[in-house]
């Protein structure tokens, strides 16, 4: 196969305020015309930096020093100036980023985004027609309506389809897909991956697929490169690398991925009381116009959580999962319904200080949840100050909290931007623990983490559940993760609870057709079968 892109001896150094850091060390690889190459590895392994260096981009506030060769269809990308690079980036090389909401300008509608990416020189009529064609090509229905919508009016899956349409507008020969489904639920993940695969096949594009999900690589890439700390640990045909890995690091990645089985211990203490019970809970939001009907976010939701249990809430985007969690901590007010917590009435609009301490919420975005101007010590002592803990105890308590989440005291002086995603999420967990809660609500807190860090955070939550006797509500789209942590699962769709059962029953014998589709989607993204990586049900 003729290489479309051939990278030889790539070195990338990141200039930081603490000095230069070499993040890519002598990396070589190639991508053939029409081929999909998978890049896998932990956070910080160099996957995204490699891709961004090829198109002349760098992380915000940093600069890159690059050496080596990256020959794309006869031209060395690394030797191009910024003006010459613009002839490639967005035209012959398209990029799909991880977070579609961040990739879309909130002041531009979907149609404007795609029109901006089209080749110059098109008439207004031709541009309008081409935007419609691209929206239809990425599987968006009701094109006239979607093209007028802004990012906040689109679901996560719709946002990513608009980003893909923009990346395709220049008719690229190579598409770089950088974690394109990390923030999406399981069923939408499958749809977007199938869309990218079908577009690649229909257009004859090459694709660099960057992901931490070994199941995605197993299904969609013919060859794979396994990166660790900027070095290729292993490369070759995907079936060989994942089926019979030669390197310990590759084996570790495979062993770290949660299997689609229920491994969380089920409780046999049937006499325990309910720490939380919800009945007839309903929430609606205003429609898009003054005459539009209200949008139902929760519709007559009922469930109970026993003390010490870990309850998973799963479902597609827009099903009501996060709304339910936010009602329980008073961030969203219900239209009607009853919530009882620890045997007393809980009123989200007038939560007491004791209730706010007892129920803590951990958000998906580990960076956005922390104030970038506060270091770790300040972030951990802030809730201690709010709830009146003696000042003389703050530093010792911050150190103790860090140790409890497996971080050292040397992290106290670091700021969020100096921590990895897994470290930031541990700080958020420690911050939630600072006020000794009874219930933790975890909203997609491991979805953006690579498999090894996911496993570490899940182990941490399992341990905290036992040592602190915590109850957990775990909102997730990943059934393998749910099986590793939660003993019960509640499935939501279209604002309603459609099934609730022990997690082992949900994963092995789901009753609802929609639940079965979620389980099937998870099975389809399982890695290639091997003795250590099978995800059988």
- The three-state secondary structure class of 473 is strand
CA distances 525 to 218, 360, 457, 498, 505, Å, are 8, 32, 22, 24, 20
pLDDT for 289 equals 66
Q: Among candidates 364, 375, 362, 369, which has minimal Cα distance to 464? A: 362
pLDDT in tens, 36-84: 999 998 877 888 889 989 998 876 656 788 999 999 999 999 999 888 8
Confidence of residue 116 (pLDDT cuts 50, 70, 90): very high
- pLDDT interval class at 532 (50, 70, 90): very low
Q: What is the pTM of this model?
A: 0.77
Check residue 266 and give its pLDDT: 64
Between the CA of residue 456 and those of 200, 360, 422, 426, 488, what are the distances in Å? Answer: 35, 21, 9, 10, 21
* Close Cβ partners of 236 (under 8 Å, ≥ 6 residues apart): 223, 224
Packing angle, helices 186-203 and 156-168, rounded to 10: 10
Strand pairing partners for 499?
491
Give the Cβ contact number of residue 295 at 10 Å: 13
**Cα Rg for the chain, rounded, in angstroms?**
24
Which pLDDT score is estimated for 330? 93
pLDDT of residue 501: 96
Q: How far is CA 281 from CA 186, 326, 334, 496, 533, in A?
A: 25, 12, 7, 10, 40
With 0-12 CB in 10 A as exposed, 13-18 as middle and 19+ as buried, what is 482? buried
User: Tokens 């609730």 appear where?
Assistant: 500
Beta strands in 135-273 (DSSP E): 174-178, 206-210, 223-228, 231-237
Is 523 within 8 Å of 260 (Cβ atoms)? yes
Q: What percent of the chain shows pLDDT beyond 70?
A: 93
Going from N- to C-terminal start, the domains of the chain cover 3-256, 274-524
Question: Mean pLDDT throughout 435-464?
Answer: 89
Cα-based distances in Å from 133 to 115, 137, 207: 11, 6, 21
Strands (E) across 53-184 are located at: 63-72, 75-76, 93-96, 174-178
The span from the CA of 138 to the CA of 154, in Å, is 14
Mean pLDDT for all residues in the chain? 88
Name the token pair of 537: 């049900």
Tell me the pLDDT band of 530, cut-offs 50, 70 and 90.
very low
Does the structural domain 3-256 have CATH classification 3.40.50.300?
yes
CA distances from 402 to 383, 419, 514 (A): 15, 13, 41
Domains 3-256 and 274-524 share a fold: yes
Distance from first CA to last CA of the chain, Å, rounded? 38
Rounded-to-integer distance, Cα 326 and Cα 69, Å? 50
Q: Is residue 100 over pLDDT 60?
A: yes
Backbone angles phi, psi at 517, to 5 degrees: -65, -35
Higher pLDDT, 330 or 188: 330
Cα atoms in the Cβ-side hemisphere of radius 13 Å centred on 351: 20
The tokens 């292993």 sit on which residue? Answer: 234
Q: Which of 225, 249, 245 is nearest to 36 (CA)?
A: 225
Judged against a pLDDT cut of 60, whether residue 529 lies above it is answered with: no
Among 231-240, 266-275, 498-507, the minimum mean pLDDT is found in 266-275
Task: Please answer whether residues 299 and 462 qualify as being in contact, where contact means their C-beta atoms are separated by less than 8 angstroms.
Answer: no
Confidence tier at 381 by pLDDT (50, 70, 90): very high
Rounded Cα distance between 249 and 381, Å, is 37
| pLDDT at 25 (0 to 100) | 94
Q: Which residues are CB-contacts of 337 (< 8 A; sequence separation ≥ 6)?
A: 278, 279, 280, 281, 282, 298, 300, 301
Separation of alpha carbons 454 and 329, rounded Å: 25
pLDDT band at 454 (very low <50, low <70, confident <90, very high): confident
> The dihedral of CA 272, 275, 279, 282: what is its sign?
negative
Best CA proximity match to 145, nearest among 134, 137, 135: 135
Residue 93 pairs in a beta bridge with 89, 174
The Cα–Cα gap between 233 and 255 comes to: 16
| DSSP assignments along 50-62, one per residue | HHHHHTT---TT-
- C-alpha span between 433 and 343 (Å, rounded): 22
What are residue 156's phi and psi, to 5 degrees? -60, -40
Contact assessment for residue 163 and residue 100, using Cβ atoms and an 8 Å cutoff? yes
Lowest mean pLDDT, pick from 88-92, 309-313, 436-440, 484-488: 88-92
357 and 435 Cβ atoms separated by less than 8 Å: yes
Find out whether 364 and 443 touch, Cβ atoms under 8 Å.
Answer: yes
CATH number listed for the domain at residues 274-524:
3.40.50.300
Q: Determine the pLDDT at residue 318.
A: 76
**Residue 35 and residue 200: Cα distance in Å, rounded?**
8
């Amino acid at each position: 196969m003729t290489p479309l892109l051939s990278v030889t001896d790539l070195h990338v150094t990141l200039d930081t305020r603490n000095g230069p850091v070499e993040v890519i060390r002598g990396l070589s690889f190639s991508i053939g015309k029409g081929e999909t190459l998978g890049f896998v590895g932990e956070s910080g392994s160099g996957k995204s930096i490699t891709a961004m260096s090829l198109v002349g981009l760098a992380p915000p506030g940093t600069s890159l020093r690059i050496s080596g060769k990256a020959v794309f269809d006869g031209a060395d990308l690394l030797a191009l100036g910024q003006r010459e690079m613009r002839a490639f980036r967005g035209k012959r090389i398209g990029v799909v980023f991880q977070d579609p909401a961040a990739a879309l300008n909130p002041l531009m509608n979907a149609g404007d985004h795609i029109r901006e990416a089209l080749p110059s020189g098109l008439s207004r009529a031709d541009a309008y027609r081409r935007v419609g064609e691209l929206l239809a090509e990425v599987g968006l229905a009701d094109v006239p309506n979607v093209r007028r919508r802004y990012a906040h009016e689109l679901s996560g899956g719709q946002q990513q389809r608009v980003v893909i349409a923009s990346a395709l507008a220049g008719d690229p020969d190579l598409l770089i897909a950088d974690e394109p489904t990390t923030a999406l639920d399981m069923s939408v993940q499958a749809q977007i991956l199938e869309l990218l695969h079908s577009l690649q096949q229909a257009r004859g594009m090459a694709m660099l697929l960057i992901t931490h999900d070994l199941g995605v690589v197993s299904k969609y890439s013919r060859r794979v490169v396994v990166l660790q700390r900027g070095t290729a640990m292993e490369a070759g045909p995907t079936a060989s690398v994942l089926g019979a890995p030669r390197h310990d690091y590759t084996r570790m990645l495979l062993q770290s991925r949660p299997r689609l089985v229920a491994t969380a211990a089920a409780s046999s203490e049937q006499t325990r009381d309910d720490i939380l019970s919800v009945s007839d809970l309903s929430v609606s939001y205003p429609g898009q116009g003054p005459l539009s009907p209200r949008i139902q976010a929760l519709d007559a939701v009922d469930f109970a959580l026993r003390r010490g249990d870990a309850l998973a809430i799963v479902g597609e985007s827009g099903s009501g999962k996060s709304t339910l969690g936010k009602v329980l901590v008073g961030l969203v007010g219900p239209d009607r319904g009853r919530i009882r917590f620890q045997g007393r009435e809980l009123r989200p609009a007038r939560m007491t200080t004791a209730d706010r301490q007892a129920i803590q919420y951990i958000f998906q975005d580990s960076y956005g949840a922390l104030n970038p101007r506060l270091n770790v010590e300040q972030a951990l002592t802030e809730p201690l100050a709010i709830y009146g803990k003696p000042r003389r105890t703050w530093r010792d308590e911050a150190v103790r909290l860090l140790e409890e989440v497996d971080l050292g005291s040397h992290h106290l002086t670091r700021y969020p931007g100096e921590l990895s995603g897994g470290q930031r999420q541990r700080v958020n967990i420690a911050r939630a623990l600072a006020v000794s809660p009874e219930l933790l609500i975890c909203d997609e807190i491991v979805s953006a983490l690579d498999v090894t860090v996911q496993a570490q955070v899940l182990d941490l939550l399992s341990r905290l559940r036992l040592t602190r006797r915590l109850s957990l509500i775990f909102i997730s789209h990943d059934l393998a993760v749910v099986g590793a942590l939660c003993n019960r699962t509640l499935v939501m769709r279209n604002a309603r609870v459609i099934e609730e059962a022990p997690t082992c029953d949900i994963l092995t014998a789901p009753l609802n057709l929609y639940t079965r589709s979620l389980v099937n989607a998870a099975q389809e993204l399982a890695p290639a079968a091997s003795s250590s990586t099978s995800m059988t049900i």
